[in-house]
Amino acid sequence: YIADWSNHRVQKYLRNSSFGQTVAGQATGSYNTTSSFLYYPGDVAVDWNSNVYVADTFNNRIQLWTNGSSAGMTVAGTGSIGNGSNELARPYALTRDPNTGTLYISDTFNNRVMSYLSGALSGSIVAGGLGSGINNTQLSSPF
């Protein structure tokens, strides 16, 4: 699974294949703010059911694309840039704990890493969030 940044999509490649399949976003490379589009996807995580979690970076949200779906569902962020516990600002990277379903998101422009429990409407700061800096309590544009 590859976050195809400038084509605004996620591609799935099977082993020994040179042809990708679009599993999130539009195969045409179009971008938009609606649920069937992505806008500069920064990262992707995949669960054991082949559901795809996408850091939809310029839409300031994390989208879940269930296996075979033609549109995503926002599971973190609001789609608008912000610094509240339910908002994200250019989330570039994410990972998902396979045991708990918790998402860990690099909230890059907020200089923090957020955790979102499965099904939660807002997240918690797990690192940074005290402005950009070099102190042990700060991060600077984390990926």
The pLDDT tens digits of the residues spanning 81-132 come to 999 999 999 999 999 999 999 999 999 999 999 999 999 999 999 999 999 9
**pLDDT interval class at 37 (50, 70, 90):** very high
In this structure, is residue 119 part of a structural domain? yes
Distances in Å between the Cα of 114 and the Cα atoms of 18, 36, 137 are 35, 25, 14
Coil, strand or helix: which one is 143? coil
The enclosing domain of 8 has a CATH number of: 2.120.10.30
The domain of 118 spans 2-128
Structural domain count of the chain: 1
The pLDDT tens digits of the residues spanning 107-116 come to 999 999 999 9
The pLDDT tens digits of the residues spanning 44-61 come to 999 999 999 999 999 999
pTM of the model: 0.95
